Every structure is written in structure tokens, then in C-alpha cells.
Amino acid sequence: MNTEVLNGRLEPHGDGELISKVLETVVEQVRPCTSRGSVATYIPELGKQDKGLLGIAMASVQGDVWVAGDWDSPFTMQSISKVVSLGLALTEMGEERVFSRVGVDPTADPFNSIMRLEMVAPHRPQNPLINAGAIVTLSLLPYPDSHSRFAAVRDLARRLTGAMDLDMDEAVYVSERDTSDRNRALAYFLRSVGALEGDIEDILDSYFRQCSLRVNAKDLAVMGVTLASGGVNPFSGERVLSSKVCRIMRALMATCGLYDGSGEFAVRVGVPAKSGVGGGIVASVPMRYGIGTFGPALDPKGNSLGGIMMLERISKELSLRVL
């Protein structure tokens, strides 16, 4: 089997001449389009990214890895980390307990909307992949403080990605922590309606930390294939999550993974995926592949413009769609 150490992590390799070629080609074709997007600016540190970057990596359940473009450029997980903390919560608390506090409804509201929380009683966030839902999910974890809570999320992220040195980007964390009025508003509102308990600044601190976890496209590909395989990381051989938890995560990614762009993504790409405003997308083709993309130029809904375009082409070329 073809795994070797790359960057202290993994060695991309594989006999997939076809796949290598497809990845190279899509990066080349899509790169000019990235000029049409914009990098996230609401977190100042994210605004410094080079919007011309574009990279992709793909991993199979058999343990192959293919890469192209800026696949090793680092970026922060942002909302992709919500998948990680959800996996942790489902594992530690159980499905029933998590979903008694957070819904599983897709929503066409923007990712940081308070409105719906206010209208519909009981005031339960629609799903764990919008900010409100992710914050509540995090608050349910049985850890006494931000430090231990974040350490647990990071540990799961490391095992999902196989990047055992994965850690947060300090500058992004600080930038995020200091400019997050909307998330503070959400958290205080959630607590005011009884949807959230605990020390808000402490919970938010772990939220900002997990959002700032730094990865590259290959890390996301490994994470995606671990979810695709039903929880076993094909490179480390470790069972990281149960297959049931992976099913839930993939289902939520399929219906709510790209904010209010989830429906269009299902039409165009047709595989479970989760995006982050850091420019990453992790996609998970059940039983087959994981894909990680990176392109910090975002579309108006906050999803990586280049990432979606690459995934659309690859899904078609390699017949990946499951819908």
C-alpha cells in the first residue's frame, strides 16, 4: 500500500493516472474564474489571503491520494470545524441528546441569522451546521472549559485528517475573537431563550479556536474519506467515528453543508460536503472518496467559488454524484 510521509503527514500517491490528470486539468481551467470572487473580510485576518490560490486533493477508501495546485497551502477550517465538533458531540453525548437541543432542518437563512430563533418556539437552532447550532453543540460537550473542550475537538480533527500536528492559527483566532459581535449576539440570545447554558465567553472561545484550526486541502481529503468510509481513516487504519455518526454527518452535509447554497450544490455536484469561509470545502462520496478543495475567493453566499466549480467538474468527470 502506498502511503508515505509528506510534510510529516501523508504522501500523495496512486496509480490513478486518470484522477491525477482530472485534478490538474480542473485547477488549470478554474483558476482564472477565482478573480470573480472575494475573500472573506468580516474577519480581518482572513481578508489578507491571496484570492488567486486554488488547490485540490482527493483520497480513496483504498488509501490512495492525489493532489493538484495549491493543495498544501494552509488555511483555517472555519465552518468546516462544525462537522468535527458535531462528530465529537454525537460520539460523546449520543444522537438523541444532541438532537433534543439542535434540529436537523435545512434552512435558507444566512448562516448567522437570529430571526428564525426568535420566531419559532422552542428556540432550537435549525441544525448543527449553522453558527447557532454549532455553538449549542459545542456547549453540550462534557468538558469544563474552553481549553479542554478545544483540545478534544482538535484531537478528533487530527485523527480525522491524519495530521497529528494540526493546530490553530493564532492570528486568525485573535482576529476572530475580537470581531465576533454577531456570534456573541447569537450566543447571548440563545442563552436568553434557554437554548444554551454555560459561560458564554468560554464557549465562544472554544468556538473561535476550532474555527481557526489550520489545515490544507489534503487534510480535508483525508477527513472526507474517513467520513466516506464510515469512520475508519484509511491511512492510519484507526476507527475514528462510528459508521452511524458518519451517516448523520454526511446527511447533514448533503442538506445543510453550504449555507443557503446547499440546494444549488446538491443540483450541481450532488455529494455531501461542508464549506468554510476560510476557503475550504470538504466533500465525502460515501464508500468511495474524500475530496478537499481550497480557494479563498468566495461567492456571495460565503462558499469557495473555485471549490464549487472544481467539485462540479470532478463530480461529472468521475461520476461521483450520489443524488
Is position 176 annotated in a ligand binding site?
yes
Q: Is 73 a catalytic residue?
A: no
Mark whether 82 is an active-site residue: yes
Among 146, 259, 271, 284, the active-site one is 259
Query: Residue 207 annotated as binding?
Result: yes
Question: What region does 270 belong to: left with phi over 0, alpha with psi -120 to 50, or beta?
Answer: left
Does the annotation place 173 within a ligand binding site?
Answer: no
- Respond yes or no: is residue 79 known to be catalytic: yes
Does 238 count as an annotated binding residue? no
Residue 42 labeled ligand binder: no
**Angle at 110 (CA atoms; ends 120, 121), nearest 5 degrees:** 10
Least distance to its own copies from the beta carbon of 268, Å? 8
Minimum distance of its own copies from residue 96's CB (angstroms):
12
Catalytic residue among 22, 232, 277, 285: 277
Tell me phi and psi for residue 87, to 5 degrees: -60, -40
Residue 141: name the closest of 184, 177, 98, 102 by CA. 98
Please, is 319 exposed, middle or buried when counting C-beta atoms within 10 Å of its C-beta (0-12, 13-18, 19+)?
exposed
Binding site for its own copies (CB under 8 A): 7-9, 103-109, 113-116, 118-119, 126-127, 181-182, 184-189, 191-192, 200, 247-248, 250-252, 254-256, 260-264, 266-267, 270, 272, 286-288, 319, 321-323
207 is known as an active-site residue: yes
- Nearest CA to 158 out of 103, 105, 222 is that of 222
Cα torsion angle, 35, 40, 42, 44, sign: negative
- For residue 100, count other CB atoms closer than 10 A to its CB: 13
Of 60, 79, 175, 212, catalytic: 79
Q: Is 20 a catalytic residue?
A: no
Specify the residue, 88 or 204, whose C-beta has the smaller distance to its own copies. Answer: 204
The binding site for substrate consists of 79, 131, 176, 183, 207, 259, 277
Which residues form the catalytic set?
A: 79, 82, 207, 259, 277
